[in-house]
Structure 1
């Protein structure tokens, strides 16, 4: 019996979605087929309010002809608040087969209207507890529930960060909830299923409340109270009983408040936990420990509340220490073997009053001593004071650290082995689904890929931060836009960027200017720092166009593109109003090719003219806006921005080209941008590509690019006939290069090419992160041009994969990549062995691929041992100058052909 089935159902990107305020959810599914060339020809979706009621569904799409299996919109009656819906799918294919109904999945709505909030925002009575105290607040309430609890949901959030408890048990696994958003406009709340934690009779709900991003210290300017000066909590619990009745428990003045063991907990500073002041059993029924006080209401309102949009921050992995080091200065240091972001947990036997102090750092200095200079004002210190003698398990609550090394004080009597056994690192980041894999024949390149992934994990914590360790950790827009394509390969970042782009739109100024960081914690800082009143920069503000367009390309999310279109347009119109003429951006402050090595020693700004960078990005954003308008059916605007793009390209050439059609600026980045952004063609393109290749070659196959040029350097070379040069750049391991940091022991991507210099000294403490993902954007080129796995721009979400194996029998002997797309796993892999090239391609059902076998000849190429002409699933076949080009349907294929030398 042939196999054809529906699997991996999703609603708004997720298999199970608890607590959403999306009123018209979208469904997706994948098809499993044992036959090549499978295409869905029809589908049917049903929605019901229980798994047993599909015979009388809430909505039945009926059989609909078509191949859509991504982002199908719900078409039934308006969804209701606090309701769980189940959905299932069946499909038909071009081979005449019909699937069984899929396994049902579900989504559950949260509170769809501000009027449904019955609770009050509460905080401790300021007459009893200082509202500006650095201690964490404890809030609690007792209530009596009837027997026969059928379901129980908590809807909760905080002005600050919070942890939730029910009858002494921690509720959920979220860390640093409710996350970081542009709180005044958008403030997330979470939904928790606590049915199994409640009981008939006495119950207690408890909340621990910290400052977090809302009012804690942020930025190197030591800003506080950016969003408000009062912590507050908001919670309502709805209990549904078997008899059909409901009961609500809400935050109000009846709640009690106190402080406890968390004496301080800050994002940069760390945490001080004094267990002698812990309130035992405070979130359990009975008389609470110690003195408790009243609460008061805080008038924060409900209009800004939105249901959780992205995946929450969670512990995603635990790492044991690899070694205990004794430094020359006599410190005892745990080496985790990996630069990571998270927190240390220890489980130890301690005596009453024992004081354990943990300091966190990324690197050791050249002498092997503990080094914290690059943390600037961030202390990254955790302290624990034992309350009584006995076994203790502890990890900090409202902070996170960026570190590989942990200096331990207060445990001098503990042996190295016991110390090592007593600690574990808990890795924290937004709990994104891994989607991409890459591997090659070069061990250092594989380590580079691991470093890229670890850099993303460390910096994709609520927002795409620049770095996770020093007194910054902000959502820099420039870093996000250059890295997003790489990010979207390694992890499913659809929900992550959906949430962040909504914050970008919320923080965008009325002029269309986009802040350097989102959420905009810097506010008006740059007007005093650089005297600039636009509060933006090219390549940074362009996140407004690049990011939603990339999400559309990778996932096919047309709704997000439409939602962000106004923001995209406002950004382009802002640029249009800035220059001395509308087709040139030559005014205002710009970061330019930030941290490029082609400027004078110690400069942050590269040598490429900032007006060139600004105008190139102006063209890129206008091109994206034109294409987005076309996708959204805005034909008139597509035409308008197409004409504007033509004017910008013409002005770019007039301003920045020589009379010979070369770039006037003799930097690598100046030659990269026009090639990649489509600003040159014909003979000019050939000359500029040759010039770029020569610049790299004369530099000993080293780069000297910064944040703007680096992501596109190898891509510009490979796309223009210099792939061998690009591969040499990748494999270069002397300074400056991607692999140089690996020779220095890097396990994440560095901010500076020479973060650790060849002699072991450091770049300036001022700005020297060892976990800074921007230069990891090389990953996009590795996946697309080395492994050869790409998508066709005309068919989003890998509906049509573009396979171009970057075969090289000298520099690399194999590479492979796979990606879990919206249609299923798509993969490209190749190896060179014994004078032959082997290429493996996987294409998911309901999708296809356009494949180029480089250097292959039709007469000698085979698929699974048979001539290509006879291969099942091949739709078209042609011999070209580059090799054999073919299009295929779904299935797994193995191609084999002699190398070019063998031919």
Structure 2
């Protein structure tokens, strides 16, 4: 059978509340027959009634194999309307599928003029606008009988939650998320039909400081975007008779404060349950003693519908054990360095005050350690209401932690079994779909993969933060660009990075420079205060600013997203032109501040800056971004730019050779990173490339198979070793357990990736408190190599989106006896699974419908390869087979394949 398994609109099943006016549709096919691909498709779209008898758009049969990002080009969409769609396809075997299951997307406001609500905030005569307590804003309203449907559109200057008739609206946390608020401010759409009732209704909003006006960096200041919290809300109720009623925020709303006395990301949350206002969101609540609200002068034209996956609780974790430390503290050990919050469910007398303090690590004596948090307190205080069971978790704060210190709990209740039942960890992050899995024969490597996944979960909380625990939690651009390819294996990060890249573009300076962090609060702080922090007045650097090119290009490769590439193209171009304008030679970047190979181990004592010349790094990345821009121009049909940037790239490469290669074709700087970047970014070729790869290998071997690289060199180290014939060295690096290595932290009990290779030193002491995160994902970029080289799951980058797949496992002298990887690609699930027993090799592969795969079986001979236990033959999915220098190359269509053969290396 030919089936359509999954249909999506802009990456989502049933896209809700979008302002995209030309949405794109995609689908995944399934077939039991090998070698199946799509020959044609048909799409039908209809309106809210879901009746396809008279569709508003019918493509008819379209002869095409395209099944990703097909533009809707029917009649102009209307706001606040649900559109249903279905798809059928024809394949190369003459089969016609049935119609897919009906799916839908629903528009929100397609223009900002449809906002009739006003931003509101408590009137300052009643509530101090700068007060710490979370504001409560509410009103009652009356509805007629016959409610057909209701949609709530809401946002806040701050972070908010909405309640209707006593129940929370939606599952989102920390809405509206963090964007470059001065340019782009997200709003959310909720279906609240089931929460409304005939007659009296009540609506209430809680709003805290959040990213908008709270503490959001190590800079000791607040109010980066504004000094007043505010709420904007518009509720549309449709009746059965076709009429509509709208409830909006205006100055008739009432305001007060409640039980949340303080709620910050760094400080934590203080909650006094005795101050709860029971029933404050019900329709019969008496609010005559509440304070007035006032209109807040904030813009409407910056509003955009939700773009990213919302932040949610994605998993709950019970404490693994209760610890009594040598100093007498009682701790919860969650068993995992996590990001989120602790929920408590308890029954204690009124006035009991329980304090939770969060930390990542214990010191070498086993005591609670908070030194690396810097000024972040990560403290939650709860004062009980009493009189029965009560449950609480922080509303507008998240923490990074494994250990939780408990204080104030009634002594008679402190038995370990009870504490494990009272406290639960709730894991929070952007609710991305898991897409990738990796496993191999080495248990420590599998733990490393788990740590990489947890590091991504902890730091992909609406923006790609560097760390989730200390007083920072910023969207550092350098961290994001080195990790994005790994990120796209582990999770579906399309919407996540689409939203973040739009903020990058918004925060990019008029001269084309890209800030260190996005959203940009550091340069914003400098502009408003006149004070300096990292770097110079440009607040940009190579490898960090290059996120402008690397990230959209990577999303294009992984998801075939031409539209985002086109959308970001001018930003990419502006970044390259910014570099080009520096100094007096357009082919060289040798001016301004540079991070270089940040935190490399070859740095001088007490320095963060590695030994690799900073301008070598800058010019290597200059070449990379120019290459990406040139290739993007080709994809987008920008022929003039293609010529311009191809010429520019040649000049940059030539200048790189002149400045950083010796006369005998060697890299002038004797560091690992100085050799890695020219190899990774194709700045050397032929015999020079062989020499540089040889020299890199020697640097690693002479260092007893240990790395010395930092943020810039580490992500590519194993990749270039494997690419250039030194895969065995790469595997020895991977499996190294002594410091410095990836597995060193695993042997020290790490459950996430560390910021420093020696975050915990061999003697149990710590790296400097000044900058020592134990949940910092950048070094987790090794995951890209694990998927692509160890498991052998890769793509042909000439055909984006895994339309043409490359399967090429790499073996390594028996150190690993099996590896397997899987990826839910845009076309469906790809799997590769190899194992080695004595001289026999087994390679299992699954290729999705509507794709082709090139499979390279290393060290094989055509005559000794079996497929499915039989001699292979052309047909049944296998299109071609031939011997090549490295083994046997098969080209296959979709389906499952099982190859077995004897390794010629052993023979």
Secondary structure of 2:522's counterpart equals coil
1:525 deviation in Å? Answer: 6.0
Instruction: List per-residue Cα deviations over 1:211-248 (Å, max 9, x = no partner).
Output: 00000012111221100000000000000000000000
Specify which of 275, 278, 294 is matched with residue 277 of structure 1: 275
TM-score (norm 2): 0.99
2:718 alignment partner in structure 1: 714
Is the CA contact (8 Å cut-off) linking 1:524 and 1:535 kept in structure 2?
no
1:876 deviation in Å? Answer: 1.5
Do residues 116 (structure 1) and 120 (structure 2) align? Answer: no
1:869 deviation in Å? Answer: 2.9
Specify which of 297, 300, 310 is matched with residue 298 of structure 2: 300
Specify which of 371, 374, 384 is matched with residue 373 of structure 1: 371
1:301 deviation in Å? Answer: 2.0
Instruction: List per-residue Cα deviations over 1:39-81 (Å, max 9, x = no partner).
Output: 1000000001146410100100110001000000001000000
Is the CA contact (8 Å cut-off) linking 1:214 and 1:226 kept in structure 2?
yes
1:616 alignment partner in structure 2: 620
1:580 deviation in Å? Answer: 3.2
Is the CA contact (8 Å cut-off) linking 1:46 and 1:89 kept in structure 2?
yes
Q: Quick one: distance in 2 between partners of 1:419 and 1:827?
A: 42
2:96 alignment partner in structure 1: 98
Q: Quick one: distance in 2 between partners of 1:290 and 1:850?
A: 72
Q: Quick one: distance in 2 between partners of 1:299 and 1:324?
A: 50
Give the stretch that moved more between structures: 525-534 or 287-296: 525-534
Do residues 428 (structure 1) and 443 (structure 2) align? Answer: no
Q: Quick one: distance in 2 between partners of 1:880 and 1:428?
A: 48
1:739 deviation in Å? Answer: 0.2
Q: Quick one: distance in 1 between partners of 2:574 and 2:348?
A: 59
Specify which of 121, 127, 131 is matched with residue 125 of structure 2: 127
1:602 deviation in Å? Answer: 2.0
1:386 alignment partner in structure 2: 384
Q: Quick one: distance in 2 between partners of 1:97 and 1:786?
A: 37
1:529 deviation in Å? Answer: 3.5
Q: Quick one: distance in 1 between partners of 2:534 and 2:787?
A: 38
2:562 alignment partner in structure 1: 558
TM-score (norm 1): 0.99
1:874 deviation in Å? Answer: 1.0
Do residues 471 (structure 1) and 475 (structure 2) align? Answer: no
5+ long unaligned stretches in structure 2: none
1:287 deviation in Å? Answer: 3.0
Q: Quick one: distance in 2 between partners of 1:290 and 1:706?
A: 61
Secondary structure of 1:796's counterpart equals coil
Instruction: List per-residue Cα deviations over 1:841-875 (Å, max 9, x = no partner).
Output: 11000001011100000010111122233562111
1:395-544 to structure 2, matched below 5 A, reads: 395-411=393-409, 412-414=411-413, 415-523=415-523, 528-529=532-533, 532-544=536-548
Instruction: List per-residue Cα deviations over 1:331-371 (Å, max 9, x = no partner).
Output: 00000000000000011111100000000000000000000
1:534 deviation in Å? Answer: 1.7
Do residues 867 (structure 1) and 905 (structure 2) align? Answer: no
Q: Quick one: distance in 1 between partners of 2:375 and 2:653?
A: 45
1:624-639 to structure 2, matched below 5 A, reads: 624-639=628-643
Give the stretch that moved more between structures: 48-57 or 729-738: 48-57
Secondary structure of 2:474's counterpart equals coil
Give the root-mean-square deviation of aligned CA atoms: 1.0
Is the CA contact (8 Å cut-off) linking 1:363 and 1:405 kept in structure 2?
yes
Is the CA contact (8 Å cut-off) linking 1:206 and 1:283 kept in structure 2?
yes
Is the CA contact (8 Å cut-off) linking 2:162 and 2:169 kept in structure 1?
yes
Give the stretch that moved more between structures: 623-632 or 49-58: 49-58
Instruction: List per-residue Cα deviations over 1:168-226 (Å, max 9, x = no partner).
Output: 00100000000000001000000000000001100011100100000001211122110
1:289 deviation in Å? Answer: 6.7
1:685-764 to structure 2, matched below 5 A, reads: 685-764=689-768
Secondary structure of 2:4's counterpart equals strand
Specify which of 823, 830, 834 is matched with residue 834 of structure 2: 830
Q: Quick one: distance in 1 between partners of 2:772 and 2:841?
A: 43
Secondary structure of 1:869's counterpart equals coil
2:599 alignment partner in structure 1: 595
1:531 deviation in Å? Answer: 6.0
Do residues 321 (structure 1) and 287 (structure 2) align? Answer: no
Aligned length: 901
2:141 alignment partner in structure 1: 143
Do residues 574 (structure 1) and 578 (structure 2) align? Answer: yes
Q: Quick one: distance in 2 between partners of 1:545 and 1:531?
A: 22
Is the CA contact (8 Å cut-off) linking 1:279 and 1:289 kept in structure 2?
no
2:14 alignment partner in structure 1: 16
Is the CA contact (8 Å cut-off) linking 2:796 and 2:804 kept in structure 1?
yes
Do residues 260 (structure 1) and 264 (structure 2) align? Answer: no
Specify which of 39, 42, 52 is matched with residue 40 of structure 2: 42
2:51 alignment partner in structure 1: 53
Instruction: List per-residue Cα deviations over 1:612-633 (Å, max 9, x = no partner).
Output: 0000000000000000000000
Is the CA contact (8 Å cut-off) linking 1:48 and 1:59 kept in structure 2?
yes
Do residues 766 (structure 1) and 770 (structure 2) align? Answer: yes
Instruction: List per-residue Cα deviations over 1:491-543 (Å, max 9, x = no partner).
Output: 00000000000000000000000000000011156772356222100000000
Give the stretch that moved more between structures: 542-551 or 861-870: 861-870
2:341 alignment partner in structure 1: 343
Q: Quick one: distance in 2 between partners of 1:529 and 1:158?
A: 29
1:298 deviation in Å? Answer: 0.4
1:81 alignment partner in structure 2: 79
Q: Quick one: distance in 2 between partners of 1:405 and 1:790?
A: 38
Is the CA contact (8 Å cut-off) linking 2:347 and 2:386 kept in structure 1?
no
